[in-house]
Structure 1
């Protein structure tokens, strides 16, 4: 399966496990680089069939009922990517080739199409995408998969192996990053949210939401982050893309936070964070980190 020619070569390639991951962790980055005219391709590895849903409106779609959630989420992803100006979805191996594996130890992990069992076939498929698009920058999760979802962990493995395989057969990706969240910045925003909530100030948590417990949200030590992308100007697009994933999450009226089906508040940060794992870092930001994923590239 080839990639649509209108995506362009030499740009940014992001590999995500499920619809909504692209927006939650990298939506501001996608919108920022599209504003700059950089070609962006988002590769999604599954349809997110095993996701939980918000409310009874979508309950009949879930895997234990009609099992139609994956198809519905294609539409959500299409809308979200349109808000980010990132083109139509591209599913690794074709839509439905690999299925959401669910959390570790669940029956979903034993499904014959579970992404965690995709092995060499998924690596070959992604290697083909890399060789065709020749991205200057590739992004996926860290080896822990952010919050530990098996599909996120496997996406890291598949992407790492595909980047290496492509380097041996025609395209050596100049820069390869993991998407992460800086623990220090996350803590700053959560403290501000807690103060607003306790004092009943504008921007307090909506009813039914709760603050995350300590270390409940995925993050990494600030000193491990190599790159900070300022996405403040792209937050309108990111918020719109978040709202497009209506079965999965809710954006607070203030636009400052969102919550998944667990109703734990997560800040919509004005910056997105990365760790460079292949290529040379070019510090240029005020904090001594890179401020551009393409820094140092011609």
Structure 2
């Protein structure tokens, strides 16, 4: 049986003439800005938004990363480490998840991330909301459909992100939003980039978390995230939402991607990369986003945002 060829969107394939040069609200300087990136697995931050994260960190912004799972179901590229894969280890991916935490630490350092944590860890922990017995959410896994799009796995764990109640997961993300109080929150679009169920669920949870964070808290404290951006997946030429195109840090992005050695390989000149399926994708430091919520004041150029 012929296996479907995975289809991934190409970053920067569509840039509108009126695309904004950055993600910050008008009047917010990069050195004063706080940006919270919400991703599904280790390596997603580097592949999807690494150039942007490195760019803002280099400009002095506080870049914070919340990762929903430890990527326990990932396939391993280097042969000497394939014993860590969930099916080979027979541990549900625990060993691989722990190994990938170390890779994520190295990637975050390369990007200049000020703080990072997983869902279920403070500050991404709402004491009134339940968590799985594992203390956090696990990778749901995925399969490739006949159309080359990612779809649900048949054997997801009951502790997985997609098995979790979205409202409960959103409460944990909202706790992080209240703690960080970012000027900008970045996650995936509703298609999850290429359809991965954990990406789609992360989008849903992050959007719900923004609404939860805007509600009055203890002592009547009310706050809302001004801007919510989605890393653009498959370009939609007729998409009416404002677009931002960030020409980010190629150097930091490459270093961060290289840190995720169990999951991907960069070619010798750093112009392409491939995951475990061997499908080569072009490397890009141009990352585009669509506005999900908030008033960007598109008629004003934000101070210092395109530095």
Superposition TM-score tier, normalisation by shorter sequence: 0.7 to 0.9
CA 1:130 to 1:239, structure 2 compared with 1: closer, same or farther past 3 Å? same
CA distance in 2, matches of 1:65, 1:96: 23
CA 1:60 to 1:96, structure 2 compared with 1: closer, same or farther past 3 Å? farther
Q: Is the 8 A contact 2:245 2:286 kept in 1?
A: yes
CA distance in 2, matches of 1:228, 1:272: 6
Q: Does 1:263 align with 2:278?
A: yes
CA RMSD of aligned residues (A): 2.4
Match of 1:246 among 243, 250, 261: 261
Match of 1:277 among 292, 299, 302: 292
CA distance in 2, matches of 1:228, 1:135: 20
Match of 2:140 among 101, 106, 120: 101
Alignment of 1:159-238 (within 5 A): 159-169=206-216, 170-181=222-233, 219-222=234-237, 224=239, 226-231=243-248, 234-238=249-253
Match of 2:159 among 103, 107, 113: 113
CA distance in 2, matches of 1:293, 1:69: 43
Q: Is the 8 A contact 1:14 1:41 kept in 2?
A: yes
Match of 1:136 among 152, 162, 183: 183
- 1:90 aligns with 117
CA distance in 2, matches of 1:293, 1:272: 20
Greater shift, 24-33 or 87-96, is seen at 87-96
Deviation at 1:254, TM superposition (A): 1.1
Greater shift, 89-98 or 9-18, is seen at 89-98
- 1:19 aligns with 42
Gaps of 5+ in 1: 1-7, 182-218, 285-289
* 1:128-165 alpha-carbon deviations (Å, 9 max, x no partner): 11111111100100111111111001001100100011
Secondary structure of the corresponding residue to residue 247 of structure 1: coil
Q: TM-score, normalised by structure 1?
A: 0.76
- Which has more helix, going by share of residues? 1
CA 1:129 to 1:260, structure 2 compared with 1: closer, same or farther past 3 Å? same
* 1:32-73 alpha-carbon deviations (Å, 9 max, x no partner): 101111111110000000011113211100111223111100
Secondary structure of the corresponding residue to residue 147 of structure 1: coil
Q: How many residues align?
A: 244
CA 1:281 to 1:87, structure 2 compared with 1: closer, same or farther past 3 Å? closer
Q: TM-score, normalised by structure 2?
A: 0.74
- 1:69 aligns with 96
| Higher RCO (CA-CA < 8 Å; seq separation 6+) | 2
Q: Is the 8 A contact 1:226 1:281 kept in 2?
A: no
CA distance in 2, matches of 1:292, 1:148: 33
Greater shift, 9-18 or 25-34, is seen at 9-18
CA distance in 1, matches of 2:304, 2:49: 15
* 1:190-224 alpha-carbon deviations (Å, 9 max, x no partner): xxxxxxxxxxxxxxxxxxxxxxxxxxxxx212453
Deviation at 1:291, TM superposition (A): 8.4
